[in-house]
Structure 1
Amino acid sequence: MSFALNEVIEIYGEGTVLAIGGAVIGMLFGFFAQRSKFCLRAAVIDFWHGHFKDKLSIWLLAFSAAVIGTQALVLWGGLDSSGARQIAARGSLSGAMVGGLMFGVGMILTRGCASRLLILSANGNLRALLSGLIFAVVAQSSLSGALMPARLAISEWSTLDGGPGRDLLAMAGVGHATGLAIGVLCLVMAIYFVSRSTSKPVMLWVGGIGTGLSVAAAWGFTQWVAKNSFEPIQIQGLTFSGPSAEWLMRVLQSPAPKIGFEFGLLPGVFLGSFLGAMAGSEFKLEGFKDGYSMRRYIAGAVLMGFGSMLAGGCAIGAGVTGGAIFALTAWVTLVGMWLGAGLTDRWLDSPANHRHP
């Protein structure tokens, strides 16, 4: 298999191979996430409302599958997680927490995280499409535009060097077998919550687990290409903030950035979600109901765009992809997202404060 991959890379180049892999894995993620209604926002709301059933179960199934699949790859020798950007590069605890809080607030306002906006856009949701475009603009501005100084300033409040100091397993003095065990524990919790559901749809299981395994597949595929590449390749998992900003610049500037895994990811997710919507007869054009809704979605997209770049990833990129390799800043970001989203939902969307449709 490695010899065959070497030949393919030599003929078509690393970028093309990575882009094709990104498209295939993206299609799987998009299809499974669409069919299972995977959504961190929905899981957070159910958690804070004490409803430990379907929506929380789907997220836990996906997260546990990502952790189990990723840690199994490390134990098998198919992934060196120490080379991942979330562990090897210099990180920011302040950026992770502040960015996570901002992202959590934003995903309540837009009624979906970055990946969910892309999936809903493919289902005909024009609110999600506009929010996703604004998200990409703000993410790019935060990366290398007008908002970059603010991002860098907040990031410098509390930093940590790359290496074992960003690896929770290394900090705890345990190995990847423990990481695998934690994933199994999360899976047991998910199964328990699923057992409490009255509907128990098969797609809840298949879609949730498939979504999580797509995250592990991205890690494994990029590591596979990196091992067989003639050029140094940065291994990476699924994320949507960086690819969104990259696709924006691909449309606006010339020459465009080089193609790679992220080039195929977003179109793949869009197509997979579209196929899922068509399979379930769920494609439907939807727009804004009123001016309040538009203002809410725009504000949420701005917060998510800045927050994701500040935190080093979105709900998938930091929360699940980074969480699956036990990157410290990823788990801090995830905590921030759950707190920010929970507090915002209670303040803005509780029955006592709910005044708008």
Structure 2
Amino acid sequence: MAITGLLVGLIFGFALQRGRFCVTTAFRDVWQSRRATYFTAFVTVIAVQAVGVGILDATGVIHITHKALPWLAVSLGSLIFGVSMVLAAGCATGTWYRAGEGLVGSWIALVLYATSAAAMKYGPLEPLNQGLRSVTLPVTTIPASLHISSWIVIAVIVAGAGYLVYRELTTPRPKVATLPPTRTGLAHLLFEKSWHPLVTALVISAVAIVAYPLSFASGRQAGLGITTPSANLANWFVTGNPARIDWGVWLVLGILLGSAAAAWASGEFRIRVPDAGTAIRSAIGGIGLGVGASWAGGCTIGNSMVETAQLAWQGWLAFGFTFIGVGLAVRYLQPRAARSVPHPLTTVGAQTPTSVPVSL
């Protein structure tokens, strides 16, 4: 059953690439240009997934448990992760799917992200990781702390997401100039037409919900996750331990392959070599992603998208500090020229590969 992770990853990677869906973009745009299009899409994923998880849990398909909140590690790790997202020009998932597009800078960040995460989880930095994560608070989920039904919290999340979606759909946007289509039918929809962020959000929500029963069936009791699978893959390369190759490892490999297939079919795959400065930032960002996500217990997928949908304090704490970390990096570390890069949804010809900002 572990091989189903590959199938989920293929669909996930395809949707990420074609929808240009990256949490770095979602968070950075709010700080940089006060645009909330991708942020709204991200919150939509959380809301839809929360409903799905609630149903799966209530019907006994899955049973999710949580440990005490390692508040210090989650706060510090998520802050580091948020800063590193901007340096690496992508979050953990964004790094995997941009690597599939041929970005050498993402290759650098990805290798160092997986390696540093493995060092934190299984290697010489494990004591440092475990030491900080041992500082905990006796809380797990929001409903358990407030002694209320989980459906009340889910309703609040859905209402908040609904408000953001309403604002997004009713706010006038400049028209985007597009090139004449060269394909027809399904091929045009899948490989040429720009995907609306909210449509992409619905696809990703479905993938995230389906991931639960498939992952549980393989013996891995978790939803989508990127950091531990990436660390497991790096550990397997070094040790050859077959136990490391689980559903999650197949998932991340599927993301890479799905993204590469989508980029190739849409004509967006190109080997792009960064300049020295970008390569250095990618390397530093990759290390920070691995260290930060290991301390935090997850990345923007495992924490900010999955744990939030599970109504866990860890997820929402990570969401907040990751968002703050991105803001600090945009303000103090991002190159000045990158702060004024036109948004891909309003740039003429934005659907063409040459006009998509490298930092998506």
Q: What TM-score results when the alignment is normalised by the length of structure 2?
A: 0.82
Q: Contact 2:27/2:323 (CA < 8 Å) preserved in 1?
A: yes
| Worse-matched range after superposition: 127-136 or 26-35 | 26-35
Aligned: 1:150 with 2:128? yes
**Which of these residues, 205, 210, 216, is aligned with residue 212 of structure 1?**
205
Alignment of 1:116-135 (within 5 A): 116-135=94-113
After superposing the two structures, state which structure 1 stretch, 314-323 or 62-71, moved more: 62-71
Amino acid at match of 1:340: G
Could you say which residue in structure 1 is the equivalent of 2:81?
103
SS in 1 for 2:148: coil
What is the deviation of 1:269? 1.0
Task: Tell me which amino acid in the other structure corresponds to 2:86.
Answer: I
**2: CA distance, partners of 1:192 / 1:198:** 17
- Give 1:113's aligned residue: 91
Q: Is contact 1:243-1:263 (8 Å) kept?
A: yes
Determine if the alignment matches structure 1 residue 78 to structure 2 residue 38. no
Match of 1:241 among 219, 223, 227: 227
Q: Which residue of 1 aligns with 2:316?
A: 331
Structure 2 residue matching 1:257: 3-state secondary structure: helix
The structure carrying a bigger helix percent of its residues is 1
2:322 counterpart letter in structure 1: M
3-state SS in 1 of match to 2:243 = coil
Question: Which stretch of structure 1 is more off in the superposition, 321-330 or 341-350?
Answer: 341-350
How many percent of aligned residue pairs carry the same amino acid?
23
Q: Which residue, out of 129, 137, 146, partners 1:160?
A: 137
Residue type of the alignment partner of 1:216: I
Cα drift, residue 303 of structure 1 = 0.9
Task: Tell me how far 1:193 sits from its aligned partner.
Answer: 4.1
The reply to whether residue 172 of structure 1 matches residue 146 of structure 2 is: yes
Output the TM-score relative to the length of structure 1.
0.83
The count of corresponding residues between Structure 1 and Structure 2 is 322
Q: 48-57 or 210-219, which moves further after superposition?
A: 48-57
Maintained 8 Å contact 2:233/2:245: no
1:136 and 1:317 mapped to 2: Cα distance? Answer: 15
Partner of 1:63: 46
Any conservation in 2 of the 1:123–1:274 contact (CA below 8 Å)? yes
**1:1-357 alignment runs, 5 A limit:** 17=1, 19-49=2-32, 51-81=34-64, 83=65, 87=66, 89-156=67-134, 158-161=135-138, 165-195=139-169, 196=171, 197-198=173-174, 202-223=195-216, 225=217, 233-289=219-275, 291-349=276-334, 351=336
CA distance in 2, matches of 1:125, 1:202: 21
2:347 aligns with none
Change (3 A) 1:353 1:57: closer
Residues 190 and 35 of structure 1, relative CA distance in 2, 3 Å threshold: farther
Please give the secondary structure, in 2, of the residue aligned with 1:80.
coil
CA distance in 2, matches of 1:301, 1:294: 10
Give the partner amino acid of 2:314.
T
SS in 2 for 1:166: coil
User: 1:353, 1:131 → 2: CA distance?
Assistant: 19
Q: Deviations over 1:18-60 (max 9, x none)?
A: x222111111211111111111111111112353343223322
Q: CA 1:106–1:80 in structure 2 vs 1: closer, same or farther (change >3 Å)? A: same
Amino acid at match of 2:27: V
Deviation at 1:327, TM superposition (A): 1.3
Amino acid at match of 1:99: G
Q: CA deviation at 1:234?
A: 4.2
